[in-house]
Amino acid sequence: MGADYAYDEEGYLWPFFVFTLTFIVTLPLTYLLVSRSRDPAAALKRVQSDYRHEHADLVDTLRKQEKRKDRKLWLLAFVMAGWAVMGYMLYLINTTEAPTQKIWNPYDILSIPESASIKVIKSTYKKLSLRFHPDKIRPDASRNETLEDLNARYVEISKAYQALTDEEVRNNYIQYGNPDGKQGYSINIALPKAMVSDGNGKYIVLIYSALFGVLLPYLVGSWWYGTLRRSKEGSLMESANRLFRAYQDDIDEGGVITALSEGKEYEDLFKGNKADSQLSRIESKILAEGELSPFAGGLSVKHKEKLQNLESGPQRKALALLWAYLGRVELDDPALNKAKLEVAPISHALNKSFTAISLAYMNTAPLLASYYTSQLLIQALPPKSSPLLQLPYFTPKIVKAVEGDSRIRTSVQSFMDRPDSKRRSLVVGKNLLTEQQYKEAVKVAKQLPYLRVAKAYFKVTGERCIIPSSLVTLVVKGRFVPPGSEKLPEVNEPDLEDIDPAEDDLDAILGRKTKKQIGKDENGKPIMSADSEPILPPLASAPYFARDHSPRWHVFLTDSKQGRVAVPPFTFAQFDRPVFQEDGRTPTFAMQTLKAQFQAPPQAGHYTFVMHVVCDSYVGFDTKMEVTLIVDEASKAAEMADDDQISEPDEGWSTTFLP
Amino acid sequence: MVDIDWWGLIVPFAYLVVLSGTFMTFSTIYRKRKATQSANLAPWFGPHLQRNIYLSLLHMEPEANGSEKAAAAKTPKVPESVIRAALLRRAVEDIHRIIQIRTAKAACSSLLQRGSVGDDLWQRFQRAEKEMEEELRDVVMEANALAPNWGQIIFQSANEIAANTVLKQRLDEIQAQTEREKEWWEKRRSTIKTESLKKLEDESEKTQGKVGSEDEPVLVDTNTPSATPVSGGGSKKKKGRK
């Protein structure tokens, strides 16, 4: 009696197997599908505005297209197929009856009740043996009986009788459920018999080799080459290489835009004769005389020459369209207008690559140019143009009415700081804005998140002074003050302080509470841990940009004398306290904390840095201020610690050396 | 005798052959493609114009000498000073290129490590670096051939020339703006002048009108202080528009 293996002949086991397998694969994919189809941007607040420019519909369709691109159709098909298979398998499991091994019951065989006495058993057995003894009856051909059947039936009957009368057989029956003693058990493999039966072998081999010889190498290869093809920033590697070559130490925003047009992505966008079609038309439009700048596209003479020196092809077309986009030039052709809106998001993606490259060089000017280009691309403004154009209904003509012939650009903040009557008298009038439009513009302006820095200082967690090579935290305290905000509350002094986490709060010290991370650093404030949900500012108000963009703030320190970046940027996309109240437009003026950690210089002394806080979505919302880092000698720090020991004897200085 | 199922035996052998064959073709194709790719990499720098000029000047001599005396008379021998000047120009261009390579090296390698730029860019870069080393050596040798021990100082002077040209360029750029700035200031001055004249007139009118009506000056007074603290440039403009 041994274990014998059987394949699943009746087909009642393999549905279980297939069901489990499909379940394991389908469930994560379903999760992926659901999480992906849930639009993350939909949950975010937006700047409330009813403003629709004439191509707003086109921008909307482009945004929708982009979202649809994210939705992978094959994934949907795969998940649906998976669930269909699982459903079918469930159906199979329910309908096919498993061949249950009948429990051997001697009473059933003798067809007597279980309460029958020995006497009854004996008499029944006698009756039955008389009737069914193989010598007594002959096989009934009509019921398809053979001699063996009759024999078997008789053996069964006598076995049943013995089980009920004979002591040994009865024991066997009680122990193993069978009068013959222990039975062999069988193991079934949950594969359909068809898989191993003769003749099907070659198909199985074919499927096997297709899986491991074709599909697996294909998947691995496509993954590997996919990672090689794209740079870390998500642009094509070839584009990143070209951007690296285009980098110059004295590059300005126009130069960055020219460099971005080199992207290989445009070659895919403008294939074949698309590259040259109507190029001259676009160029004549952007080089027409502009209202605020010499050319309508907003480009300078230098960059105009660069454009005209290019060979006609995808790059030139992309660059021309980019200038048309930035200058908000009407191209009088639906296809061209669409292409104009399409090139900007591509450039914005490429610009990330350029930012990384300029960061590797550690020079301030190119890095700033790259960030400013991001602002320009999102807001559709040419370089050195008026930030006022970010407001709805503002056209160059209205900007001219505000600025006069001054060369200093009026920022949104300074415009909104003027009294309402003054602003109104400037921009509302014949050929200018209507009362309605003016109200809309002011409404939008009052929702733009301008981060006004209240204080910026350095500290070392748990120490009183900064010693050489210690880990310094730059703490930037600021409030979101939209331009033109009225009734701005006074800064609450305690808000400006940064309290170290309690010494026993190891999680906070080690920054282990990843949930309350803001940007790149940990929130040391133990008070904050209660409302650790990070808060996102509203999506950037960018009516021309064909993507939803969540604004970010970059904080970095530069050395103004050398023009080099001293502390690379820390990026903040989330904040620890709400920016706007529930209605989404009333600012809370809550004090936000931005923290960046870096290593102090190895020598003691006074270091003056320029701190830049750059918003990547709005023009003219940046802060630039001087901060001084005072690094004391290590001996002085020790002295101060000694002082502590004398004045506060119960708080030993050794506690400062906690991990 | 054991009955061998030859057909059955073929299958595993065919499997092995196919497997190894695939690997081999894959590796050869892959390597060939890699080789052609690296052979076809675009050079880092464009054509070296200064070097070309220098070499063509240098090689004008043998050609003229080699053919006939008449030809030698027609194309006079290139003066030594011109060749030296050409070599110096070449060194200046080399300095520009070297500076570019030195500044790019750290950035390029860190970007490569992070995966922000591709491998072929690094290959191109390294090739350019090697090329530049050869170029420098060549320039030093040429300089020594032209004048003894010149090779040691040629790059010092080239460096100074390069720095000077950069400075000059920047100065020129700034100088080029003067015309426009002048024009703008002329215009601005005239508008300011007319504005202030107008203002004076207004004020004199006001002082005269004060006797007549009481409300007007009050209105003006409330308006001005609220407007002035905003920003100097802005308020000036606004007044100009009135």
Question: Which of A205, A357, A410 is the closest to B234 by Cβ?
Answer: A410
Inspect the interface and report whether the beta carbons of A360 and B111 lie closer than 8 Å: yes
Query: Which chain B residue has its CA at the smallest distance from A354's CA?
Result: B116
Inspect the interface and report whether the beta carbons of A241 and B226 lie closer than 8 Å: no
| More confidently predicted of B180 and A39 | B180
Assign A98 a pLDDT band (cuts: 50, 70, 90): low
Over residues A105-130, the mean pLDDT reads 78
Inspect the interface and report whether the beta carbons of B117 and A213 lie closer than 8 Å: no
- pLDDT higher than 80, residue A12: no
- pLDDT higher than 50, residue B215: no
Determine which helix (DSSP H) or strand (DSSP E) holds A478, and give its type and residue range. Answer: strand A471-480
Range from A194-198, A596-600, B120-124, B186-190 carrying the lowest mean pLDDT? A194-198
Range from A349-353, A512-516, B185-189 carrying the lowest mean pLDDT? A512-516
Q: Which of A216, A220, A228, A245 to mutate to test the interface with B (most CBs of B within 10 A)?
A: A245
Nearest-Cα distance to chain A for B116, in Å, is: 5
Inspect the interface and report whether the beta carbons of A422 and B238 lie closer than 8 Å: yes
Nearest-Cα distance to chain A for B188, in Å, is: 8
Cα B92 to Cα A462, B178, B221, B229: the distances in Å are 55, 30, 67, 55
Assign A654 a pLDDT band (cuts: 50, 70, 90): very low
Inspect the interface and report whether the beta carbons of A360 and B238 lie closer than 8 Å: no
Q: Which of B102, B109, B111, B113 to mutate to test the interface with A (most CBs of A within 10 A)?
A: B111
Cα A164 to Cα A116, A121, A156, A177, A543: the distances in Å are 10, 8, 12, 13, 92
Assign B238 a pLDDT band (cuts: 50, 70, 90): very low
Say how far apart CA A257 and CA A522 lie, in whole Å: 35
- pLDDT higher than 60, residue A371: yes
- pLDDT higher than 70, residue A124: yes
Per the structure block, which two tokens stand in for A450? 């301008």
Was domain A451-657 assigned CATH 3.30.413.10? Answer: no
Determine which helix (DSSP H) or strand (DSSP E) holds A202, and give its type and residue range. Answer: helix A201-209
Name the CATH architecture for the domain at A237-385.
Orthogonal Bundle (1.10)
The predicted-structure confidence for A425-476, as pLDDT tens digits, reads as follows 888 887 788 888 888 888 888 888 899 998 899 988 877 788 888 899 999 9
- pLDDT higher than 80, residue A648: no
Residue at B20 is within a domain: no
Let me know: does A86 contact A26? Beta carbons within 8 Å: yes
Q: Which residues of A touch B111 (CB under 8 A)?
A: 244, 356-357, 360
Let me know: does B121 contact B37? Beta carbons within 8 Å: no
Let me know: does A544 contact A380? Beta carbons within 8 Å: yes
Assign B1 a pLDDT band (cuts: 50, 70, 90): low
Which residue carries 């709005």 as its tokens? Answer: A618
Assign A644 a pLDDT band (cuts: 50, 70, 90): low
Per the structure block, which two tokens stand in for B190? 């005239």
Q: Which residues of A touch B108 (CB under 8 A)?
A: 244, 360
Burial level of A311, CB count in 10 A (0-12/13-18/19+)? exposed
Residue at B33 is within a domain: no
Q: Is A232 on the interface with B (CB under 8 A)?
A: yes
Let me know: does A289 contact A311? Beta carbons within 8 Å: no
Sequence spans of domains, chain A: 4-95, 106-176, 199-228, 237-385, 386-445, 451-657
Let me know: does B111 contact A360? Beta carbons within 8 Å: yes
Over residues A24-37, the mean pLDDT reads 86
pLDDT attached to residue B235: 39
Let me know: does A573 contact A494? Beta carbons within 8 Å: no
Say how far apart CA A391 and CA A383 lie, in whole Å: 17
Inspect the interface and report whether the beta carbons of A228 and B230 lie closer than 8 Å: no
Outline where chain B has alpha helix (H): 6-39, 49-58, 60-66, 69-74, 80-114, 119-146, 154-176, 178-209, 215-227, 232-241
Assign A99 a pLDDT band (cuts: 50, 70, 90): low
Assign A1 a pLDDT band (cuts: 50, 70, 90): very low
Per the structure block, which two tokens stand in for A120? 């009854």
CB pairs under 8 A between A and B: 83
Over residues B212-221, the mean pLDDT reads 43
Tell me, what amino acid is at A360? A
Sign of CA dihedral A556, A558, A563, A566: negative
Residue at B204 is within a domain: no
Cα A449 to Cα A380, A478, A483, A570: the distances in Å are 18, 12, 8, 18
Residue at B148 is within a domain: yes
Residue at B177 is within a domain: no
Over residues A30-41, the mean pLDDT reads 75
A591-599: strand order across its sheet: A451-459, A471-480, A591-599
Assign B157 a pLDDT band (cuts: 50, 70, 90): very high
Assign B98 a pLDDT band (cuts: 50, 70, 90): very high
Q: Which residues of B touch A411 (CB under 8 A)?
A: none
- pLDDT higher than 80, residue B31: yes
Let me know: does A659 contact A461? Beta carbons within 8 Å: no
pLDDT attached to residue A512: 52
- pLDDT higher than 90, residue A258: yes
3-state secondary structure of A380: coil
Q: Is A293 on the interface with B (CB under 8 A)?
A: no
Assign A80 a pLDDT band (cuts: 50, 70, 90): very high
Cα A366 to Cα A89, A398, B142: the distances in Å are 61, 31, 38
Over residues A48-58, the mean pLDDT reads 83
Query: Which chain B residue has its CA at the smallest distance from A361's CA?
Result: B107
Tell me, what amino acid is at A316? R
pLDDT attached to residue A3: 46
Assign B23 a pLDDT band (cuts: 50, 70, 90): very high
| More confidently predicted of A653 and A500 | A500
Per the structure block, which two tokens stand in for A594? 């931005």
Ramachandran class of A384: left when φ > 0, alpha when ψ lies in -120 to 50, beta otherwise: left
Cα A252 to Cα A350, A425, A439, A578, B60: the distances in Å are 16, 36, 35, 35, 44
Strand partners, A453: A478
What number does CATH give the domain A106-176? 1.10.287.110
Alpha carbon B231 to chain centroid, angstroms: 39
Q: Which of B25, B117, B189 to mutate to test the interface with A (most CBs of A within 10 A)?
A: B117
The predicted-structure confidence for A234-255, as pLDDT tens digits, reads as follows 888 989 999 999 998 889 999 9
Question: Which of B121, B230, B241 is the closest to A404 by Cβ?
Answer: B241
pLDDT attached to residue A474: 92
Query: Which chain B residue has its CA at the smallest distance from A413's CA?
Result: B230
Residue at B64 is within a domain: yes
pLDDT attached to residue A191: 72
Inspect the interface and report whether the beta carbons of A241 and B117 lie closer than 8 Å: yes
Torsion angle (degrees, nearest 10) of CA A530, A533, A535, A539: -170
Over residues B228-234, the mean pLDDT reads 39
pLDDT attached to residue A414: 87
Nearest-Cα distance to chain B for A143, in Å, is: 46
Q: Which of A235, A361, A428 to mutate to test the interface with B (most CBs of B within 10 A)?
A: A361
Question: Which of B107, B120, B241 is the closest to A361 by Cβ?
Answer: B107
Burial level of A634, CB count in 10 A (0-12/13-18/19+)? middle
Nearest-Cα distance to chain A for B115, in Å, is: 5
Q: Which domain holds residue B77?
A: 38-165
Angle between helices A253-260 and A334-361 (to 10 degrees): 110
The predicted-structure confidence for A315-352, as pLDDT tens digits, reads as follows 999 999 999 999 988 888 888 888 889 999 999 999 99
Say how far apart CA A340 and CA A532 lie, in whole Å: 41
- A501: closest CA among A473, A533, A461? A461
Nearest-Cα distance to chain B for A495, in Å, is: 28
| More confidently predicted of A646 and B119 | B119
Range from A15-19, A650-654, B159-163 carrying the lowest mean pLDDT? A650-654
Residue at B230 is within a domain: no
pLDDT attached to residue A518: 41
Strand partners, A433: A428
ipTM above 0.95, yes or no: no
Inspect the interface and report whether the beta carbons of B107 and A360 lie closer than 8 Å: yes
Q: Which of A244, A350, A370, A407 to mutate to test the interface with B (most CBs of B within 10 A)?
A: A244
pLDDT attached to residue B119: 87
Say how far apart CA A243 and CA A245 lie, in whole Å: 5
Question: Which of B106, B187, B231 is the closest to A405 by Cβ?
Answer: B187
Q: What is the mean pLDDT of chain B?
A: 80
The predicted-structure confidence for A205-233, as pLDDT tens digits, reads as follows 889 889 988 899 899 999 988 888 888 88
| More confidently predicted of A7 and B23 | B23
Buried residues in A123-149 as b, exposed as e (16+ CB within 10 A) = ebbeebeeebebeeeeeeeeeeeeeee
Percent of chain A at pLDDT > 90 equals 22
